[in-house]
Amino acid sequence: MTSIDWAKVRADFPILAQQVNGKPLLYLDNAASSQKPRAVISALVNYYERDNANVHRGLHELSSRATDAFEGARAKVARYLGAESAEEIIFTRGTTEGINLVAATWGAANLKAGDVILLTEMEHHSNLVPWQILAEKTGAKLCFVPVADDGALAFEPALLDGVKLFAFVHVSNSLGTINPAADLCRAARAVGAVTLVDGAQSAGHMPVNVREIGCDFYAFSGHKICAPTGIGALYGRRELLEKMPPWHGGGEMIVSVTYERATYKQPPHKFEAGTPNIAGAVGLGAAIDYIEGIGRQNIFDHDAGLTARAVQHLAEIPGVRVLGPAKRGALAAFHAEWAHPHDLTTFANEHGLALRGGHHCTQPLMRKLKMPGTTRASFYFYNTADEVDRMAEILRAAHRFFA
């Protein structure tokens, strides 16, 4: 039993108290982006009303306040992920940028023709396309851990033969599968492979500790964990970051510059050229405080209850098949044989219900599953059991309408 007052938590999210198409908004598209509590919105307003200035280079009061707020947020991210120090945290625009950074820097410096990059068949395009681009440039080869019929990974250590980098999603945004990140990283380490975990769907939904996982890189997006869009973070193990070449060049990342060349700062600043998203980082820090106030295990348990309830409802609707394994993250993606996902999500929207229909940025997986796409309901801690029941009611009405 937890002592969280979930109704009070929900009241922290002003956006949820509105009508859409004459019905109370039922927001179940949290895997795409989460809503923001007042604490995060206020942190942004306060920052812009009191502290706004550029960071790191001003010797005036506002600049040092902005710098403290920005670097304070970095320290919060480090604690949140269980990193050894704030120097291991690079601010990015989100998961996609974090993965691209690793591909463009670590990848370009360490991979050559014939090297193997191991991915899985359930990767989001953002953990696939950057490696395709890198493979094209270096001649490295992409291999894939298959997805079994139940939606789990069919991993075996032999797949790691000759692998230099193993990049995989922690929680699948298409299937809900929770991959055994620590086991996968342990196996990779045993063959000397570097690991990257796509944490887009895990960072805000469960306790995450990069040292317990044992990964070399972990990327996530702020907007999926109650923070603003345009901010995220990449964790990188210090030893690797120190050896990696920079990515973008410009201000903030240099020690000294001549017309011919430049010397670079230590990580993380080496990887943060130009004026960063200061307000976004402040918002991310506020989101982390907010989430830690509730507790990530409490969030996981709450979401798991909602998801199990949704899966049970869905299984009772004729012609509906839920994808993915029983043990899942906070989402239920399903195929309804009587309606295309786009028609179904349009129907849902007319009832105030926000679902997502489509390929969920996993086109190769959809092709493998022989589906044009799926419909996905995804949950967060401000959703309620009543909302899950209302979703089921709307989907039963959709069945009557389409079938």
Binding interface with ligand PMP (CB under 6 A): 31-32, 94-96, 124, 126-127, 169, 173, 198, 200-201, 221, 361
* CB of 33 vs ligand PMP, minimal distance in Å: 8
Q: Of the two residues 359 and 396, which places its CB atom closer to ligand PMP in the complex? A: 359
Q: Of the two residues 215 and 394, which places its CB atom closer to ligand PMP in the complex? A: 215
* CB of 195 vs ligand PMP, minimal distance in Å: 16
* CB of 129 vs ligand PMP, minimal distance in Å: 11
Give the C-alpha separation, 336 to 343, whole Å.
11
Structure tokens at 12: 């922290």
- Closest C-alpha to 378, from 23, 27, 22: 27
Q: Of the two residues 33 and 384, which places its CB atom closer to ligand PMP in the complex? A: 33
The alpha carbon of residue 350 and the mean position of all alpha carbons in its chain are separated, in whole angstroms, by 28
E strand segments, 237-364: 254-257, 262-264, 320-322, 331-336, 353-354, 356-358
* CB of 199 vs ligand PMP, minimal distance in Å: 8
* CB of 167 vs ligand PMP, minimal distance in Å: 11
**Which residues are within 8 A (CB) of 329 and not within 5 positions of it... i.e. 6 or more apart?**
171, 172, 176, 177, 178, 201, 202, 205, 206, 303, 307
How many other CB atoms are there within 10 angstroms of residue 13's CB atom?
Answer: 20
Concerning whether 361 is annotated as a catalytic residue, the answer is: yes
Angle at 328 between CA 325 and CA 333, to 5 degrees: 75
Q: Of the two residues 128 and 392, which places its CB atom closer to ligand PMP in the complex? A: 128
Q: Of the two residues 324 and 390, which places its CB atom closer to ligand PMP in the complex? A: 324
Per-residue buried b or exposed e for 346-378, using 16+ beta carbons within 10 Å of the residue's own CB: ebbeebbbbbbbbbbbbeebbeebebebbbbbb
Q: Of the two residues 105 and 201, which places its CB atom closer to ligand PMP in the complex? A: 201
Write the DSSP symbol of residue 49.
Answer: I
- Unique residue bearing structure tokens 């490295």: 140
Contacts of 68-72 with CB under 8 Å at 24 or more apart are 69/278, 69/281, 69/282, 69/285, 70/276, 70/278, 70/281, 70/282, 72/285
Write the DSSP symbol of residue 144.
Answer: E
- Closest C-alpha to 70, from 287, 288, 281: 281
**Active-site residue identified among 185, 215, 226, 361:** 361
* CB of 116 vs ligand PMP, minimal distance in Å: 22
Per-residue buried b or exposed e for 248-270, using 16+ beta carbons within 10 Å of the residue's own CB: eeeebbbeeeeeeeeebeebbbb
Write the DSSP symbol of residue 93.
Answer: S
Q: Of the two residues 32 and 133, which places its CB atom closer to ligand PMP in the complex? A: 32
* CB of 273 vs ligand PMP, minimal distance in Å: 19
Catalytic residues: 361
